[in-house]
Amino acid sequence: MVRHNNQLPTNLPQLQNLLKRDPASYKDEFLQQYRHYNSTRLVFEMKPDQYSKSLDDLVMFLAQVAHCFPEDLVTYPQELMDILQRHPTTLHPDMRKTFCRALILLRNKSLISPTALLTLFFQLLRCPDKELRAFLKNHIITDIKNVNSKSKNVKLNNVLQNFMFGMLKDSNAIAAKMSLDVMIDLYKKNIWNDPKTVNVIATACTSKTTKIMVTALQFFMGSDAAKEDDSDSEAENENEVIKEVGFAEQLFKHVEGMNERFEVKVMALDVISRLIGLHQLFVFNFYPYLNRFLQPHQRASHELLPPDVLEPVVSAIVGNFVTERNSAEVMAVGQLDGWGEMINGFIVYYRLNAIREICARCPLVMNAELLAELVEYRTSKQKSVMMASRSILQLYRALNPTLLPRKER
């Protein structure tokens, strides 16, 4: 092929185009650029924190034409990976991203194994480069999805799951959090929806890093699923996978020793309660621990609120919890001998106290019929329930005795 007035040694886009059309005719020019790349790379590694425009262009050029000369570039992918492994955090950010983009191109051309590349990318999640981490996370999820598109690649999945299990324990909290995010995304995309994935995510519920722990707890609570599907079915499926009482006990033990915000503790207790109810587990210490959180103070109510706003709230509390008639769950608990009666008593006691606190702040929320029903509990055999009912009676004797039956005023 005749070459007139070309500038191939310096015009890489032109050479790249010609190489893709006719590799054999331009192999000498390719080898010249490859030698140039090698010398430039060696110089760059002396000062990896400095940007090299020449090396940047050569790296992407070789990645674009690597499939044309697989034998000549057999060591090229490993050379890029070695640079990233030797200087993961000291590399110039632009050069680091260029190397990653080149490796992704090589991966798309099947010139590098997914295991080696994905393992490296997980390690690079430790880099203090938010843009790079988001870029790598997107590729990791996409690549694993593509690998499993036709059939599950069990061998690759096992290797990566084991690696990610180690990443969740990494001292770098950012890398651990990103690894957890990847696993959750893969689960929700039905790529990694096996019990092993769920159990690996479960280990993050006891993480010492708050963000990691909260993310894992939200996964089991189905918070994200609720936003997308308005359903708790996904959360139930996730919790169904974990059938061992050991996880609930381990998480509860972690809650007892944690020093986190109230909201985080409640989140963990919610997950534990779901596991106990779903699998009928026995975690006896769980119930006494809840007592410290079952406080009757209703801070969202006050005397300026219109009664018709709070009345449905009070009616719902009475209808769902303070009843011996309509609630199948309360009746079922009440049939469990002494334990059932005690638990039922606790439920009614705390709900009566909650109603009292609401009424103390907004007395007009109560009507005569509902008050008469609540006052009837003053004859309950459960001392706590009796006392709670009498406190409501005393409250309305002081605030609005006309609502009470005549004999109780």
- What region, left, alpha or beta, does residue 51 occupy, with left being phi > 0 and alpha being psi -120 to 50 degrees? beta
Return phi, psi of residue 4, to 5°.
-110, 125
The pLDDT profile of the chain, 409 residues, written as one tens digit per residue, is 445 445 555 689 999 999 999 999 999 999 999 999 999 999 999 999 999 999 999 999 999 999 999 999 999 999 999 999 999 999 999 999 999 999 999 999 999 999 999 999 999 999 999 999 999 999 999 999 999 988 888 888 998 888 888 888 888 999 999 999 999 999 999 999 888 888 889 999 999 999 999 999 999 988 544 344 444 444 555 555 555 558 889 999 999 999 999 889 999 999 998 888 888 888 888 888 887 776 655 466 777 778 888 778 777 777 776 665 444 344 333 344 444 555 555 566 667 888 888 888 888 889 898 899 889 888 888 888 888 889 999 999 999 999 988 888 8
Running DSSP on this structure, what letter comes out for residue 191?
Answer: S
Running DSSP on this structure, what letter comes out for residue 127?
Answer: S
Global confidence as pTM: 0.72
Q: How far is Cα 9 from Cα 14, in angstroms, rounded to an integer?
A: 10
Q: For 364, what's the count of Cα atoms within 13 Å in the CB-facing half-sphere? A: 8
Q: How far is Cα 131 from Cα 91, in angstroms, rounded to an integer?
A: 15
Q: Are 127 and 92 in contact (CB under 8 A)?
A: no
Residue 256 is encoded by which pair of tokens?
């007892």
Residue 288 is encoded by which pair of tokens?
């006494």
Running DSSP on this structure, what letter comes out for residue 88?
Answer: T
Q: What is the pLDDT of residues 233-271, one digit of tens each?
A: 445 555 555 555 588 899 999 999 999 998 899 999 999
Q: How far is Cα 34 from Cα 37, in angstroms, rounded to an integer?
A: 5
Q: How far is Cα 304 from Cα 293, in angstroms, rounded to an integer?
A: 27
Residue 49 is encoded by which pair of tokens?
């924190």
Radius of gyration of the chain (CA): 33
